[in-house]
Chains A and B, each alone.
Chain A
Amino acid sequence: MQTFTDIVRYRFVLENLVAKNLKALYRNMALGFFWSILNPLVMAVVLTAVQVFMYPDGGGAQRAGFLLVALIPYNFFAYCLSGCASSVLGNASLVTKVRFPRQILPVSVIVTNLVHFAIQSSLIVLALLLFPPPGQWFGWQLLWLPVILAVHIGLAIGLGLLVAGLNVIYRDVQYIVESTMTVMFWVCPLIYDPVEHDSWSRAPEWAFWLYYSNPLAGLIDSYRHVLYYGKPPDLGVLLLALLVTLAIGALGVRSFWKHEHRFADLL
């Protein structure tokens, strides 16, 4: 619990760190906005073009929305984890000089990426308005979004704390994180949707639960249900994502506290 009360007490530090991380955006608002959306925009345009070409009867430009509702939450998560992994190491000059709650460092990375996430979400809205998806996306099921987002942020904090601490001890954790996120790109339903191809009716049930025991897969699936298909998320899948997130969160907080007093010695 102290993990979070200390953050409230040191919120001015958090503010300064986030401002530092957002510096590009901060100094030049228009250019910052541009860089923030450039990467997902290019990805979405290229992947939409490929998919429209590969599946001529797959819905055409609608695929842009299909991809963006998954790619942007995935991007947020990937940037959070790689940023968290280097957060303590990258601020060595502060960690070794002053005693302050170290969890501020990974949390500042997550807050920074939430700002980017918010900016990039404008692309989702734009795609949904320009190329209406098959489902009626503007409806009551949107009330699920805060729930999904809360689990998503919780997962980012839990794993973020874990990798931030471990990377101080083992310097290869950052590379392990980056490779894992590349694998995640294919293991999560980003550019495909198993439901769409009716894959689960042909697969054994344990395969379904194994696939969704990866909480990021469950979250991406939930975002797509709500925003693209205009339906509430699959509750079993979302609940499983929540349970795994809580377990990872407990692990992350415990591991961070176990090692945080050694950070200055190890840098």
Chain B
Amino acid sequence: MTTAIRFQGVGKRFRVQHQKPFLAKELLRAMLQRPSQSQEFWALRDVSFEIEAGESVAILGTNGSGKSTTLALIAQTSRPTEGAVTVNGRVGPLLELGAGFHPDLTGYENIYLNASLLGLSRRDVDGKLGAIIDYAGIGDFIDAPIQTYSTGMKARLGFAVVAHIDPDILLLDEVLSVGDGQFAHKCEATIREFQQAGKTLCFVSHSPPMVLALCQRAIWLNGGRVHEIGKASVVCERYQRFLDTGSLA
């Protein structure tokens, strides 16, 4: 087995600024030699884990525990402040609620843009276009700008593109909780096919049944640190108990 994703002592520090900095103000501040007002906080600290190729792993944790930061590091849109992140294979776009598309472009144009960003050629996309549009099942909306789409429709199209560009690593951030029952079943079937093809899945969810259905292992993050890594059923149960009682013990 080869390692698909490896985090070694990863930390990510963010600077909290209460307002976006302005160049004019910063220059003035530098001239007056005043220190800039910003606080720092670590969204992740000392995080180490490995995910094997072909594994499906859930990331659990309350709001602000560092789940989304972890996914951004895997997607390599963000770099760690300390430690090292190693990713082997093509990573699909980070699928999140209502994002990942250009709002002014039509669904059709977004398919091309998104697929090209992931390294596909025009010929690749031409060949898969029909299948993607069929899969999304959003009808004539494919020619309308994304900003006219409902949240469910965006999720459908996003999932349809990812399902057809064949990434090695799939990142899902709560995306399956929208969409109607019928589409959720379709997604689940696609994810199963994906798993059978030996691809890697990283899955952020608040829904323990979904995690248990799809993942073998789970990583529980708390306050930016790994609280527990282990079998999905065990970690899910403890996480659920934590949610019910509010105690980490």
Contact = CB atoms under 8 A, between A and B. Distances in A.
A93 interface: yes
A8 interface: no
Interface in B92-140: 93-94, 96, 99-105, 109, 112-114, 116-122
B91 A170 contact: no
Q: In terms of DSSP, what is the predominant structure of the interface of chain B?
A: loop
A171 interface: yes
B99 A97 contact: yes
A262 B20 CA distance: 14
Interface string B175-194: 00000000000000000000
A180 B86 CA distance: 43
Given A20-B109, A264-B77, A265-B78, A96 B104 contact: no
B116 A16 contact: yes
B214 interface: no
Q: How large is the interface on A (under 10, 10 to 19, 20 to 34, 35 or more residues)?
A: 20 to 34
A176 interface: yes
Given A20-B102, A170-B22, A100 B78 contact: no
Contacts of B72: 96, 264
Interface string A201-236: 000000000000000000000000000000000000
Contact of A91 (B78, B102, B116, B121): B102
A200 interface: no
Contacts of B100: 93-94, 97-98
B229 to A, nearest CB: 25
Contacts of A94: 100, 102, 113, 117
Contact of A17 (B76, B94, B113): B113
A87 B23 CA distance: 18
Contacts of A95: 77
Contacts of A96: 72, 77, 94, 99
Contacts of B103: 93
Given A96-B77, A264-B72, A20 B104 contact: yes
A176 B23 contact: yes
Contacts of B112: 16
A20 B22 CA distance: 30
A97 B172 CA distance: 11
Contact of A98 (B21, B22, B75, B105): B75
A175 B23 CA distance: 10
B38 to A, nearest CB: 12
Nearest to A96: B77
Contacts of A176: 23-24
B122 A166 contact: no
B105 A20 contact: yes
Contacts of A91: 102
B146 to A, nearest CB: 9
A12 B101 contact: no
13 contacts: A13-B117, A16-B116, A93-B99, A94-B102, A95-B77, A96-B72, A97-B77, A97-B99, A98-B117, A100-B117, A169-B21, A170-B20, A265-B14
Given A16-B109, A93-B103, A171-B21, 6 more contacts: A91-B102, A94-B113, A98-B93, A100-B117, A166-B23, A170-B22
10 tightest A-B CB contacts, nearest first: A170-B23, A264-B77, A99-B76, A172-B22, A12-B116, A13-B116, A97-B100, A97-B93, A16-B113, A171-B20
Interface of A: 10, 12-13, 15-17, 19-20, 23, 91, 93-100, 166, 169-173, 176, 261-262, 264-265
